Amino acid sequence: MGARFSSPAIAFAALMTASAALALGPWLVRAAEVGAVAAGFWRLSLAVPMLGALALALGQSLAPPPGRLLGLLALGAFFFAADLAAWHEGIHLTKMGNATLFGNFGSFMFAVYGLVLARRWPHVRQVAALALAVLGAVALLSSSLELGLDHVHGDLLSLAAGILYGLYLIAVDKVRPEMEPLPLIFWASLFGSLFILPMAMATGEPLVPGRWDIVALLALSSQVVGQGLLIFAIGRLPQLVIGLGLIAQVAVSAGLGWLIYEEAFAPLDWIGAAAIVVALVIVRLRKPPIVPMSGS
């Protein structure tokens, strides 16, 4: 790929576009008029031909990767399929704020994974950025967050989904240096659709969508654009930046609620959104000096 597509600025723009596209997911799942887990199946399966056609149009091979990579990619796809199944169910069983906050635990998990992987003590600026992003997300969702026994099932499903998503991101991060983004997301989507189909059938929920336009838009926005650009950014940006960029979904989701659904934006919401923006600015500043861990 040309050098002009490899710059950190291009990768960061791709990450933020991915975050915005992924933020549409919860709204589209609720509007799809199909079973919650089945919506995940259609998101993945409809994306496969789109991704395949795009890869072939760009002259990229869709040949399966070598055995070790294929196994790791299949494992990551299983985590992703289980994440979608759990999160889509959680979206219907809890408040949108709860589902968004707990479902984004994987973003925080991936950011921490990057700090651990570096085997260095995190710089104070990195810790500040991560703390600001998490506090900003909580502040943004505080008005729609509602903890209680009525929502505990959906909350636990959303939290489980967040953990599974973090494991998926770690698997992708390990495969990414040896695969181009389009073939990677193609195979991840194909494997994921095969894994999630029996999960959808086991729920007994409707499998055929009432709104094909909505599930097609879900596949295009969340899988082709969202996951595609995210995987493009992985490998080009540090894991901490990826994690914080994904937490920005919370701000985009809140903005959509404000613009489309005329949900009130309180002062605390503005403070939360500003905190996330500041966190992204801090983490994109010039790389801090390395502080090695003792004994490393």
Amino acid at 156: L
- pLDDT the model gives residue 210: 87
Closest CA to 18 of 209, 193, 237, 284: 237
Q: Which residue has the tokens 């919370």?
A: 250
- 147 pLDDT more than 60: no
What does the mean pLDDT of the chain come to? Answer: 83
> For the residues 35-57, what does the mean pLDDT come to?
94
CA–CA separation, 239 and 4 (whole Å): 21
Residues shown for the chain? 296
For residue 83, the model assigns a pLDDT of 94
The amino acid sitting at 283 is V
* Amino acid residing at 214: I
Per-residue model confidence (pLDDT) at position 208: 92
Phi-psi region of 160 (alpha: psi -120 to 50; beta: other; left: phi over 0): alpha
Interval 207-215 mean pLDDT: 92
- Quote the strand ranges of 103-227, DSSP E: 120-121
State the Cα–Cα distance between residues 271 and 268, nearest whole angstrom. Answer: 5
Highest mean pLDDT among 30-34, 81-85, 251-255: 81-85
pLDDT surpassing 70 at residue 65: yes
Cβ proximity of 22 and 218 under 8 Å: no
Structural Rg of the chain based on CA atoms: 19
> So what's the pLDDT on residue 294?
46
Query: In this structure, are residues 131 and 264 in contact, taking their beta carbons and an 8 Å threshold?
Result: no
What interhelical angle do 181-203 and 67-93 show, nearest 10? 50
What local confidence, expressed as pLDDT, does residue 296 receive?
Answer: 41
What is the structure's pLDDT at 158? 86
What single letter denotes the amino acid at residue 191? F
C-alpha to C-alpha distances, 226 to 70, 136, 205, 219, 229, nearest whole angstrom:
22, 22, 26, 9, 6
Lowest mean pLDDT among 121-135, 141-155, 229-243, 274-288: 141-155
> Residue holding tokens 């509007």?
31
DSSP code, position 65: P
pLDDT mean over 178-207: 94
Inter-residue contact 66 to 140 (CB < 8 Å): no
pTM: 0.84
Pairing relation of β-strands 120-121 and 291-292?
A: antiparallel
pLDDT digits (tens, 9 = 90+) for 254-275: 676 666 655 556 677 677 778 8
pLDDT at 202 over 90: yes
Burial of 57 (0-12, 13-18, 19+ CB in 10 A): exposed
Joined together, the tokens standing for residue 80 give 């992703």
